[in-house]
Structure 1
Amino acid sequence: MSEAADITEDAFLGGQLRLKQKRSGHRAGHDAILLAAATEARPGDRVVDFGAGVGTAGLALARRVPGVALSLVEIDPELAELARGNAAANAIAAETIVLDVTAGAEAFASNELSPDSVDVVLMNPPFNDPARHRGSPDQARHIAHVATEETLHAWVHAARRILRSNGVLTLIWRADDIADVLAALSRGFGSLSILPVHGEAGRPAIRVLVRAVKGGRAPTRLLPGLMLNDESNVPRNEVKAILEGRAALPLEP
């Protein structure tokens, strides 16, 4: 298969965003769009998307909130190059940075991500437990999906370092590991808002969307769950509006 044939172009946000991505490996999906919809930002905010892949979440946020200063951070050079091209093709101003999120402060600073310099971080870290999930033989897909014991804590630490006081972190994670989310956020973050996401009616949540404020002191809020599909396993109208870019999913008080 040629290099060109290995790339697909897919529509997101009801066609408002068109993204090129690899046919194999990690593919952008609902998680990235839900994350973008749940992230609050204002024009002029400096926004950093950790583990950006081909740029889905960050670019979807920038499409909803024009005028943010967006940086897409991705460890895989091939995906970063696709993200750079996707930003240009969609006429969205964005800086693409090839960087391991678990790198130290010096590596971040050399890419102009100094401590206390960012307003908003959003992230969809690898979250499959290697003890319960058979990793893909595709290395890029494996990196995108499978976490180590330290993944979440390392990513949260990096977000805490670059966020300004009262800066906001929004993340999506496995619902069955919410204890690890709370533990990772216990140092330096507060004012948590937690939204359980259910795939089917009557079933346990499959994801949690979490908003956390650096230095926040307000009590944690557990929000009413978001049901993706109705009893007939058809996407609910509320969810369709979010996925098509016609509605946001605010977690702020």
Structure 2
Amino acid sequence: MTDDTAEAPATQGFLLGGRVRYAQPKDGYRTGIEPVFLAASVPARPGERVLEAGTGAGAGLLCLAHRVGGLHGTGLEIEPAMARLAAENFAANACRDLTVVCADVAASPLPRLLGAEPFDHILSNPPWHDASGTHPADMLRERAKMAEDGLLDRWIGRLAPRLKPRGSMTLILPARAVPEAMTALGAGGCGSLVLFPLWPRAGREAKMLLIQAIKGGRAECRMLPGLTLHDGPAFTLAAHAVLREGAAIDLRRSAA
């Protein structure tokens, strides 16, 4: 994981209310709440193998490993500077079973990079901003956010074969990307879909959803009540429990 890219200045901080040490770039792309909610919804158990596509500086895997001990996690990250930060964050939190591979999810030979053994769970917060819109000046933010046409379909198409039968794939996406994701998941043999809206405030339209599918699942698609993020200027108690205390979100609690 070496190249000629200059190392970007990083700031030291924390996730999950100080439970996880976390460094991220000082400028440009900054981690939001998405990887924390994503990690909270993965139904992993100790000893299982997990792949995060587009791991960035490793926030999703770090939060998941804090909640579920004994995981073997691999992060895929296209940007070398972010991959280095992820490796440093894993080491800073003594997560010896978390590793990062610098690779392009959509173009790299994943079986060669990741080995032949499939994963129990895959999670991803893929790039989803419309590439025809305004592009950010910062390269790291550009790579993390902007998606060319068909990228989500290609990501899911490459990742689905890496899942074990009955394994889960969990994504966090804007509402407009859900139809494309559902089609791609079905084409990849992943069914029993569950949608979980993240409402910004009560009565407001949900702009972001968690979507989870099971490899080989045949149950009907389910829409769960979701979670409201804010009550006035503060996070709701339910959102606070996830973001600050590392609480899980059980997307399978009412799904067949």
Normalising to structure 2: TM-score of the pair? 0.92
Task: Tell me the distance in 1 between the aligned counterparts of 2:209 and 2:82.
Answer: 25
User: Which moves more between the two structures, 30-39 or 173-182?
Assistant: 173-182
Tell me by how many angstroms 1:165 deviates: 1.3
Corresponding residue number in structure 1 for 2:101: 97
Indicate if the aligned counterparts of 2:123 and 2:171 stay in contact, CA closer than 8 A.
yes
Which one-letter code corresponds to 1:128 in the other structure? Answer: H
Q: How many residues align?
A: 246
Unaligned runs of 5+ in 2: 1-5
Task: Tell me the distance in 2 between the aligned counterparts of 1:85 and 1:38.
Answer: 25
Tell me by how many angstroms 1:180 deviates: 1.5
Corresponding residue number in structure 2 for 1:219: 220
Corresponding residue number in structure 2 for 1:198: 199
Task: Tell me the distance in 2 between the aligned counterparts of 1:5 and 1:209.
Answer: 31
Indicate if the aligned counterparts of 1:200 and 1:233 stay in contact, CA closer than 8 A.
no
Task: Tell me the distance in 1 between the aligned counterparts of 2:61 and 2:230.
Answer: 25
Tell me by how many angstroms 1:80 deviates: 0.5
4+ runs deviating over 6 angstroms: none
Indicate if the aligned counterparts of 1:64 and 1:245 stay in contact, CA closer than 8 A.
no
Partner secondary structure for residue 27 of structure 1: coil
Corresponding residue number in structure 2 for 1:178: 178
Indicate if the aligned counterparts of 2:40 and 2:246 stay in contact, CA closer than 8 A.
no
Tell me by how many angstroms 1:98 deviates: 0.6
Corresponding residue number in structure 2 for 1:18: 21
Indicate if the aligned counterparts of 1:120 and 1:168 stay in contact, CA closer than 8 A.
yes
The answer to whether 1:112 aligns with 2:84 is no
Unaligned runs of 5+ in 1: none
Tell me by how many angstroms 1:164 deviates: 1.1
Partner secondary structure for residue 230 of structure 2: coil
Corresponding residue number in structure 2 for 1:236: 236
Task: Tell me the distance in 1 between the aligned counterparts of 2:194 and 2:201.
Answer: 22
CA-atom RMSD in angstroms: 1.6
Alignment of 1:1-253 (within 5 A): 6-93=9-96, 94-104=98-108, 107-114=109-116, 117-131=118-132, 133-187=133-187, 188-230=189-231, 232-252=232-252, 253=255
Indicate if the aligned counterparts of 1:195 and 1:209 stay in contact, CA closer than 8 A.
yes
Indicate if the aligned counterparts of 2:75 and 2:101 stay in contact, CA closer than 8 A.
yes
Indicate if the aligned counterparts of 2:7 and 2:81 stay in contact, CA closer than 8 A.
no
Tell me by how many angstroms 1:113 deviates: 3.6
Partner secondary structure for residue 199 of structure 1: strand
Tell me by how many angstroms 1:31 deviates: 0.5
Task: Tell me the distance in 1 between the aligned counterparts of 2:28 and 2:36.
Answer: 18
Indicate if the aligned counterparts of 2:29 and 2:138 stay in contact, CA closer than 8 A.
no
With over 3 angstroms needed to count, the CA separation of the structure-2 counterparts of 1:207 and 1:99, relative to structure 1, is same
Task: Tell me the distance in 2 between the aligned counterparts of 1:246 and 1:61.
Answer: 8
Tell me by how many angstroms 1:5 deviates: 8.6
Which one-letter code corresponds to 1:195 in the other structure? Answer: F
Q: Deviations over 1:179-225 (max 9, x none)?
A: 22222212111011100111122211010101101111011110002
Which one-letter code corresponds to 2:183 in the other structure? Answer: A
Indicate if the aligned counterparts of 1:54 and 1:82 stay in contact, CA closer than 8 A.
yes
